[in-house]
Amino acid sequence: MMPARILVASLLVASSSRPAAASPSGGASPPAPAPQPHRVRSLAELIDQKEPGISLVRRWIHDAKNPVKELKGTRAAGERALLALQVTSGSPMGAIALETGGLLIDHGWVRVLGGGSAELPRTIPEWNGIAEPGSPSRRLPGTVVVADDVIGGFFAVNGGGLKGERGHVFYHAPETLEWTDVAPSYSEWLWGMLTGDLEKFYEGLRWPGWQKTVESLKGDRGLVVYPFLFEGTNGGSNASRKPVPITELWTLYVEEAPRQLKRK
């Protein structure tokens, strides 16, 4: 049976009020990543001067029910990220890439990728292995990985690389080692992360004083839980946790463990 946390995930956005004014120029939700690159648009085409999406994102941050920190990035890094993604800055994804170094939600438990910063030293194109503007992701072809959490869960926009609806956000849980549809768009997923019940979403996986532990971690590191969560153990107070590079958690949970379980 699917864990209750994943069932809650699919209801995370629906249980919150829908984001208001969710249609700035360029669309609140960027189109799903194309399986083949289209014509590469210039920076001038991608930057929406008329209705910049960052105004919408900052309104959502102001209305957030969960703690959120907007990280400061550099303009040059933001422009490189926007060019690589080929989405407009009128969309929340494009706005976060261009105007921020990323977002830390709920004391840094969830890290939303943007243009990179000292606290979150990963840009969204670098993490996805996008070699040049408009090229496919080499990390998980047919998707754009947009965020992760401190225990090794990953969120990705499906562009055809996952089974399910294109444009939806999927979550790869360290308990199930499967990709599960959790939101119908990037915008609704982000609103859910900002306003949804993350305590319930991560029920049983937190421990007393987790905030202090998580806040001390840089955004390029996470916590590997022993015994492994996919072995059916609880990640609460009695578990052992060790800080590791987030790349190790990706390798363990997305690449190696699913293959090993299939062999059994």
Separation in Å, CA 102 to CA 57, 201, 261: 12, 21, 34
Task: Quote the pTM value.
Answer: 0.89
Name which of 183, 200, 197, 199 is nearest 147 in CA terms. 183
Predicted confidence at residue 237, as pLDDT, reads 67
C-alpha to C-alpha distance for 194 and 61, rounded to whole angstroms:
7
40 three-state secondary structure: coil
Where do the domains of the chain lie?
4-205
Per-residue model confidence as pLDDT tens digits over 82-125: 999 999 999 999 999 999 999 999 999 999 999 999 999 999 99
Per-residue model confidence as pLDDT tens digits over 135-191: 999 999 999 999 999 999 999 999 999 999 999 999 999 999 999 999 999 999 999
Angle at 121 between CA 158 and CA 254, to 5 degrees: 40
24 three-state secondary structure: coil
